[in-house]
Structure 1
Amino acid sequence: MAGVLDGKALATRMQADLAQQVKMLQEQAGRPPGLAVLMVGDNPASAAYVRGKERACAKVGIASFGKHFPTETTQAELEQVIQELNQDEQVDGILVQLPLPDHLDSVALLNQIDPDKDVDGLHPMNLGRLVRGEPGLQSCTPAGVMRLLQEYEINLRGKQAVMVGRSILVGKPLSLMLLAADATVTIAHSRTPDLAAMTRTADVLVTAIGRTELITPEMVKPGAIVVDVGINRIEDETGKARLVGDVQFEAVKEIASWITPVPGGIGPMTVTMLLHNTVWSYCQRLNIAP
């Protein structure tokens, strides 16, 4: 039976360490790190994510500069706000909560963020740094996956890794991080023919495709490390909602060597890496040792 890669426990420890670090750094810098989260509209899931991020900031001593805009806010208005935050010396990180309403161009907005304040790691300059293997702000979910694997001393060198999903948020940056750790990486996706044949080759199987319990035991190589980034909301016959991943957890854990749960796996690590990125940016901007 698989060991559980407990992201929640690691996130708790990392946040406690960050709180201590921020307390010491603030004495040198004279101010706390600052994170601005921009949210447009009233998407309930986005609102819940933003509240979670603000609570996490408060826990570690990061100042929150949350800004909530009505749905009809224009592209120009948001770009102006981002430019002001780029210049604000109290703000070390800027995050635009996705998805945005349809009339807004999210790529254009993300490109307006100062790359050195881009704590989501989605600016072309930060993605370019990742491709080149240079230091920079890295996308939070992929960085959280790598940190969790590191915590459990899982050596990726020479491993066959299969990444199911090709998004710019997870699939592409995580593939680059796995490659940098000397894994041999294959990217699969919803159009891949005979997905099961490919996933069965994986020593490390990562899925971020957003399809409820897509990965069955027959698709997993015995002894594989299975990382489930998917978050899918389902309702039972009584109408009660719960979260499940892309992997049939109970069945797959019988044959995997390690597996992440949903919830409690990668989700807490994503928020923690956002806090980590904000503190890293703060140190870089103020030229103080982290």
Structure 2
Amino acid sequence: MAEEKPHCKVVLANSIAKSLLEEVHDGLKKIDRKPLLVGFLSSADPAARVYAEWTGKTCNENGFAFELREVDRELLEDAIIDANNDAKVDGIIVYYPIFGNRQDQYLQQIVDVSKDVEGLSHRYIFNMYQNIRFLDEHNQKKSLLPCTPLAVIKILEYLRIYNTILPYGNRLHGRTVTVINRSEVVGRPLAALLANDGACVYSVDIEDVQQFHRGEGLRKRRHEVVEKPGWTLENCLPLSDVVISGVPGDKYKVPLNLLREGAVCINFSSERNFSPEVKEKASIYVPAIGKVTIVVLLRNLLVSKR
């Protein structure tokens, strides 16, 4: 009798987004008008345009107002400042990459903190890495997190990888996670957030592997980073019960022979980083996260208005 293939559950972003949308709809009921989100598109990147169109569609379907402003990149700085000063604008999103260098980082800092729904301003980034979860001393105003890393966290919560029996902030204790890609926009923040929640995280980039963790028994309040000289995916993947990959381009594939049996696999690249055979080894596979990212954006907009 042929041996049965293990059953892998493929979870689509749409299903996860629906459960988050209920929370967003409840938040909207407490506001007496449609919040206005303004998107700035100054990039020829086709993925940026797709993201902008998705944002508009999701806003319009869910009771938000959305305005896409296509601006020459040399005029973008002034356009952001104008939106900062416009009382009608509740939130601002800029579709990157624009210049593809440090100028993009500068533009992220121009967006007013009260309108930064992407969680990219210095105050939010500092709080994220320091594991400071609120903006005020009374813990009333939550510090926002960047949309894509937060979307991955919401997916892990939905999949019950977070252990809700444990105290808030320690719910990934005992989990080992590999994050492939250490970009400043997604990969590194995601590794830090997962480690701050108690996981042992291996952050893998082209050059090297770093371990993010809070020490034995979660002694530290925030994560620390340890270099792992000579380590590669061969060392990390067999140890990891969760593998999250976001390498851009269609060439890269996660080596399935190194995957732990029954691992949870999540792809956050616009291309598929896992070949279809991943379903023969993984217990859960999430092939894309884009729709969750956009709902998280709306959630951030509501949180910033409270």
**Alignment partner for residue 57 of structure 2, among 55, 63, 74?**
55
Matched residue, 1:229: 268
Matched residue, 2:274: 247
- TM-score (norm. length: structure 2): 0.78
SS in 2 for 1:223: coil
SS in 1 for 2:195: helix
Matched residue, 2:149: 142
Matched residue, 2:87: 89
**Alignment partner for residue 132 of structure 1, among 109, 130, 133?**
130
CA–CA distance in 2 between the matches of 1:47 and 1:231? Answer: 13
**Alignment partner for residue 286 of structure 2, among 249, 257, 260?**
260
For structure 1, the 5+ residue unaligned runs are: 233-244, 284-290
Residue 46 of structure 1 and its aligned partner are, at CA, apart by 2.1
CA–CA distance in 2 between the matches of 1:80 and 1:124? Answer: 19
SS in 1 for 2:127: helix
Q: Where do residues 108-127 of structure 1 align in structure 2 (5 Å cutoff)?
A: 108-127=106-125
Residue 20 of structure 1 and its aligned partner are, at CA, apart by 4.6
Give a deviation string over 1:129-177, Cα, whole Å, max 9, x none.
Answer: 1112223111111111111111121133211111111011111111111
Matched residue, 1:37: 39
Residue 81 of structure 1 and its aligned partner are, at CA, apart by 1.8
CA–CA distance in 1 between the matches of 2:40 and 2:268? Answer: 24
Give a deviation string over 1:25-80, Cα, whole Å, max 9, x none.
Answer: 233xxx3212111111544332222111111111111111321113xx42xx3222
Counterpart amino acid of residue 261 in structure 2: P
CA–CA distance in 1 between the matches of 2:100 and 2:153? Answer: 32
**Alignment partner for residue 164 of structure 1, among 177, 180, 200?**
180
Residue 83 of structure 1 and its aligned partner are, at CA, apart by 1.6
Matched residue, 1:10: 16
Contact 2:80–2:110 (Cα < 8 Å) also in 1: yes
Say which is worse superposed, 107-116 or 94-103, in terms of deviation: 94-103
Counterpart amino acid of residue 205 in structure 1: V
Counterpart amino acid of residue 273 in structure 2: D
Residue 187 of structure 1 and its aligned partner are, at CA, apart by 0.8
Shift of the 231–12 alpha-carbon distance from structure 1 to 2, 3 Å rule, reads same
Contact 1:5–1:258 (Cα < 8 Å) also in 2: yes
Say which is worse superposed, 1-10 or 217-226, in terms of deviation: 1-10
Matched residue, 1:79: 77
Shift of the 95–153 alpha-carbon distance from structure 1 to 2, 3 Å rule, reads same
Shift of the 160–17 alpha-carbon distance from structure 1 to 2, 3 Å rule, reads closer
Residue 179 of structure 1 and its aligned partner are, at CA, apart by 1.0
SS in 2 for 1:161: strand
CA–CA distance in 1 between the matches of 2:46 and 2:232? Answer: 36
Residue 87 of structure 1 and its aligned partner are, at CA, apart by 2.0
Contact 2:43–2:97 (Cα < 8 Å) also in 1: no
**Alignment partner for residue 234 of structure 2, among 196, 213, 218?**
196
Q: Number of paired residues?
A: 259
Shift of the 106–251 alpha-carbon distance from structure 1 to 2, 3 Å rule, reads same
Contact 1:79–1:109 (Cα < 8 Å) also in 2: yes
- TM-score (norm. length: structure 1): 0.82
Matched residue, 1:239: none
Shift of the 45–204 alpha-carbon distance from structure 1 to 2, 3 Å rule, reads closer
Residue 211 of structure 1 and its aligned partner are, at CA, apart by 4.5
Matched residue, 1:242: none
Residue 183 of structure 1 and its aligned partner are, at CA, apart by 0.5
Counterpart amino acid of residue 256 in structure 1: A
Shift of the 210–44 alpha-carbon distance from structure 1 to 2, 3 Å rule, reads closer
Residue 110 of structure 1 and its aligned partner are, at CA, apart by 0.9
Counterpart amino acid of residue 196 in structure 2: A
Contact 2:42–2:76 (Cα < 8 Å) also in 1: no
CA–CA distance in 1 between the matches of 2:126 and 2:101? Answer: 28
Counterpart amino acid of residue 186 in structure 2: V
Contact 1:19–1:59 (Cα < 8 Å) also in 2: no
SS in 2 for 1:78: helix
**Alignment partner for residue 19 of structure 1, among 25, 28, 37?**
25
Residue 101 of structure 1 and its aligned partner are, at CA, apart by 4.3
